[in-house]
Amino acid sequence: MEINHDKLNCIDKTSKTKCLSPHSKKKVNVRKTTYCRRPGLVYKNLIKNQNTIQTSQYFESTYDGQWIPPRSPYALIQEDLFHNPWQLLIATIFLTKVTAKLAIPKIHEFLLKWPTPEDVMNADPQDLLFSVKNLGLENTRVKTIKQFTADFLSKKWKYPIELYGIGKYGNDSYRLFCVNEWRIVQPDDILLSKYKNWLTLNEKQLGI
């Protein structure tokens, strides 16, 4: 199904800001980001070859069909990482108690250097500490990354809130972007709530 992004209803009822798609030429007051990538190579490649994710053990769900979350005007990093739950949850750890402007570049650098949980488990602790420099709570953040990753690899879990260091924000992100539970999740985070509201407003147009 080909989506006409210019016809999507992007009214943000919370902020009363009209968020147009990246294809629109109309200028409005939209949150600016210098780090978003839309439509995103990861997303485009997955659309072309959905078998790469249909066989993933992380996408077992009671819902029918494979969930590929639509790209939104909010350009959330979760939209790029939905195909890899460990990477998505790492991003939520980076985004805790820090602005996205500071965290996003660090997330990309981190995932380029350590793209898998096994890489993190074998990483030098000082290198990990350097990777979160200037984000605040550096030692706590590294401890959380290491223990969460160990749990991710060793525990039999259904939702990431069962893993060390993952709270409601990380759990809601997983349910919104990794599995098709966006209709029943009730996020507290402002941007996650906006994303869910956008899906609700555009459900028919998006074909979800």
pLDDT by residue for the chain (208 residues), tens only, comes to: 445 555 566 544 444 434 433 344 444 343 443 333 444 444 445 444 444 433 334 444 444 457 899 999 999 999 999 999 999 999 999 998 899 999 999 999 999 999 999 999 999 999 999 999 888 888 999 999 999 999 999 999 999 999 999 999 999 999 999 999 999 999 999 999 999 999 999 988 888 8
| Range list of H helices, 72-189 | 78-81, 85-94, 100-113, 117-121, 125-131, 138-154, 168-177
In the chain, domain spans: 75-203
CATH of segment(s) 75-203 = 1.10.340.30
pLDDT of 54 reads: 37
Active-site residue among 6, 12, 127, 189? 189
CB 164 within 8 A of CB 184: no
pLDDT of 207 reads: 85
Burial classification of residue 143, based on how many CB atoms lie within 10 Å of its CB (0-12 exposed, 13-18 middle, 19 or more buried): middle
Helix or strand run (H / E) with residue 59: none
Q: Hey, is 167 helix, strand or coil?
A: coil
80: annotated active-site residue = no
Q: Hey, is 180 helix, strand or coil?
A: coil
Selection from 158, 157, 179 nearest residue 66 by Cα: 179
CB 68 within 8 A of CB 82: yes
